């Protein structure tokens, strides 16, 4: 059996540059993995089975199934594995759990099926599964462009404590709805992201400055799209030294850098409302993926 870990992500910045001819939006965003994880257990089987401890995403409803079949199709084989997905990342929060699971499956099955594909091959397959999937092949800190599939690794942040808040709020077809809420007045030239890239790749980076450098365009429309968040935002006002930001298209929110005191304050403030509050840490990238390295590591 192979066991692999799939990390959640937050968006340090998220800008939308405009709408593309193919219907997607052009984005410029800095993605960052955190140590909130799902776990995949993978073993040989005569066919393909995907089982999750969240039954609504068993089988073909899970991106892991899509990843396994895409990988098998690319290599001209029949997919054969039993994959158990154990969720630790809250679903539909903008944290990329499904995409991360798909990337972890690609990496592990490349080893189990002895396919010998390069990281570039896996990235090409990943881009066809979902916009965030290529990023999760390596994780860490990275610039994502295009519709999110064009990844440029950035110098890794040191471990930074992050408060993560996951409200029980749902919006049907959330990502599409959030993008549909944008209009040309929300589009930008990506300058906020460029400034943070410049700082991350320069010298003299100060962790304490990170909070003022984060940005997410969806915060300008989320209050109408998800009005339930307004009350939570009000209850949290004044508890944090740094700004509270959306993770991806939400509804998860985060604050960084943070600390144990702010975590306790937020937990106490939100305890009556059944909101998940986590104190997590930013993580660096996975080791460089190469077929030989993967086989030697065993992924366990």
Long-range contacts of 18-22 (CB under 8 A, 24+ apart): 18/184, 18/187, 20/147
Best CA proximity match to 8, nearest among 290, 280, 287 = 280
Q: Which residues are catalytic?
A: 9, 132
Task: Round the CA-based radius of gyration of the chain to a whole number and report it.
Answer: 19
What distance in Å separates the CA atoms of residue 149 and residue 130, rounded to the nearest whole number? 8
Two tokens at 1?
A: 């059996």
């Amino acid at each position: 059996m192979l066991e692999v870990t799939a990390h959640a992500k937050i968006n340090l910045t998220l800008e939308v540059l405009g709408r593309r001819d193919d219907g997607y939006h052009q984005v410029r965003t800095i993605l960052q993995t955190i140590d909130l994880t799902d776990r995949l257990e993978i073993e040989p089987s005569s066919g393909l089975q995907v089982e999750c401890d969240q039954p609504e995403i068993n089988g073909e409803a899970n991106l892991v199934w899509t990843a396994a079949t895409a990988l098998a199709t690319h290599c001209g084989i029949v997919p054969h594995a039993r994959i158990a997905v154990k969720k630790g990342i809250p679903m539909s929060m903008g944290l990329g759990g499904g995409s991360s699971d798909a990337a972890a499956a690609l990496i592990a099955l490349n080893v189990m099926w002895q396919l010998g594909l390069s990281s570039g091959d896996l990235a090409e397959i990943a881009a066809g599964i979902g916009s965030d999937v290529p990023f999760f092949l390596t994780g860490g800190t990275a610039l994502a462009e295009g519709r999110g599939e064009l990844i440029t690794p950035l110098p890794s942040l040191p471990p930074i404590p992050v408060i993560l808040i996951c409200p029980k709020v749902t919006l049907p077809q959330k990502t599409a709805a959030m993008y549909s809420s944008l209009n040309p007045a929300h589009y930008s030239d990506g300058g906020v992201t460029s400034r943070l890239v410049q700082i991350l790749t320069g010298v003299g980076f100060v962790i304490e400055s990170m909070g003022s450098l984060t940005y997410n365009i969806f915060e300008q429309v989320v209050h109408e799209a998800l009005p339930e968040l307004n009350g939570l935002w009000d209850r949290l006002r004044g508890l944090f030294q740094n700004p509270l930001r959306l993770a991806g298209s939400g509804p998860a929110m985060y604050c960084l850098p943070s600390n144990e005191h702010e975590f306790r304050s937020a937990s106490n403030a939100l305890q009556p409302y059944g909101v998940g509050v986590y104190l997590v840490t930013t993580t660096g990238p996975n080791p460089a993926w190469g077929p030989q390295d993967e086989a030697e590591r065993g992924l366990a």
